[in-house]
Structure 1
Amino acid sequence: MPTSPEPPGPAQRDLDLYDIAFLAGGGRRVAETALITLRDRGVIKVRGSRARPGDTPVEQGEIHPVERSLAELCAELDDIAVLLDFVRRGPEVVLIRAQLMSDGSLTCFRHRVTALGRRRLAQAQARGTWPAHVFEGSTALKDRRLARTLDNASLPSGLGRALARMGRALDPDHGASGSDGPDHGSSGGGGGGGD
């Protein structure tokens, strides 16, 4: 009696670009893949660490929910680190993770890729359907400027993020449009003598 290589369970669905991206690199890879895809289509423009809406309008029928989310956020937020963080934590990526958990590609507790998930990822990579950056991240990008932008586009977590936010709030030059702010001159008193 022949045995099947996979235990019986829910029917396996076909994985799309963003399912594969999640298996390869988690929510962050999903967000990066959406940014690269939209940039390549002209839906958004990337300049330095900023992203802005591009010249090509978003077609509702042919756009993935993750792409739609990023395109809509791009109209409000332009910092790539913030955009990627919002998309990574968004409901669209949470849904991808839940679907991958339900079909056995991710563990339920720590969301790690299972043997089935690794096998499906390897099969997708062997087919050669998706771009290399989906599997390998920014290191596979030919556009080195974009690769550097993505590598540098990370928000510090926890305390680091809170301190960065406080620093921007206390910075007199952050968001200032002129010199009408208070004078923040130094009162000295710093130096110390040495022997």
Structure 2
Amino acid sequence: MVGMTPQPDVYDVAFLAGGPHRVVDTALVALASTGRVRAVAPGELQVVDPRRRHPVEAAVLDAVGGRGRRSVDTVHWRALADRRVTGIGRRLHDAGLLGRVLGPTAAGRRLLRELRCAVGAGDPVRRVALDGREQVTDPALHAAVFEPPRHPVLPGAGTTPWDLSFADGWQAAHRTRDAIVARAQSGGLG
């Protein structure tokens, strides 16, 4: 494999198996499992320990931010624009594991089959890297990392604009719109 170590790391595997979104999911599970990121509410994350052990984890920690908290959707949006995440694809392509359309080559598929046979059930980070977020069997960890925030922003619901992160505006606007439409359809507005 040109340009790579013989054994790719967990983030290389995640990109090969599921693309950049899978890389971010894998990093979030790794950071939450080790206590470096915690959920202050379902789907809202906060950095507890900013130590960086890997460039991808550093990108995700930067996406969560040093102060305050961020929604999981915002973390994804911010991390997916980071070169520490997107650069993995180029390295995998150069190593002959990833094709031009971001699908694994024959060598990449063979590597994924071998890794799936070798991974244990007690390794949630590698399971997510290989097969996706559905592999998180711990309900608390799954809720903390993957559930959307529970507090929709509705007029008169006690939520002030200061409760929102500026980066969360798009999600808040859609949650508000969806809640208002649903209330109107059920006859709640009038």
Indicate the residue corresponding to 2:26 in structure 1. Answer: 33
Distance 1:105 1:172 in 2: 53
Measured after TM superposition, the shift of residue 12 of structure 1 is 5.4
Would the alpha carbon gap of residues 65 and 96 (structure 1) be closer, same or farther in structure 2, given more than 3 Å must change? Answer: same
AA at the equivalent of 2:102: H
Distance 1:151 1:49 in 2: 6
Q: Deviations over 1:25-61 (max 9, x none)?
A: 111110011111111111110130100012xx3334x
41, 49, 52: which one aligns with 2:43: 49
Would the alpha carbon gap of residues 122 and 78 (structure 1) be closer, same or farther in structure 2, given more than 3 Å must change? Answer: same
Contact kept? 1:24, 1:134, Cα under 8 Å = yes
- The alignment covers a number of residue pairs equal to 150
Measured after TM superposition, the shift of residue 134 of structure 1 is 1.8
The answer to whether the aligner puts 1:17 opposite 2:10 as a matched pair is yes
RMSD: 2.8
59, 69, 74: which one aligns with 1:69: 59
Would the alpha carbon gap of residues 135 and 49 (structure 1) be closer, same or farther in structure 2, given more than 3 Å must change? Answer: same
AA at the equivalent of 1:111: L
Identity over aligned pairs, percent: 23
Unaligned runs of 5+ in 1: 1-8, 154-167, 178-195
AA at the equivalent of 1:114: T
Unaligned runs of 5+ in 2: 163-190
Measured after TM superposition, the shift of residue 146 of structure 1 is 3.7
Distance 1:141 1:126 in 2: 18
Indicate the residue corresponding to 1:191 in structure 2. Answer: none
Q: Does 1 or 2 have the higher relative contact order (CA < 8 Å, sep 6+)?
A: 2
What secondary structure is seen at the aligned counterpart in 1 of 2:132?
helix
Indicate the residue corresponding to 1:111 in structure 2. Answer: 102
Contact kept? 1:39, 1:45, Cα under 8 Å = yes
Would the alpha carbon gap of residues 72 and 103 (structure 1) be closer, same or farther in structure 2, given more than 3 Å must change? Answer: same
Distance 1:12 1:42 in 2: 29
Indicate the residue corresponding to 1:180 in structure 2. Answer: none
Measured after TM superposition, the shift of residue 92 of structure 1 is 0.9
Distance 2:77 2:10 in 1: 19
161, 170, 189: which one aligns with 1:176: 161
Measured after TM superposition, the shift of residue 152 of structure 1 is 4.7
The answer to whether the aligner puts 1:125 opposite 2:123 as a matched pair is no
AA at the equivalent of 2:135: A
Structure 1 runs of 4+ aligned residues shifted over 6 Å read 171-174
Judging by fraction of residues, say which structure has more helix.
Answer: 2
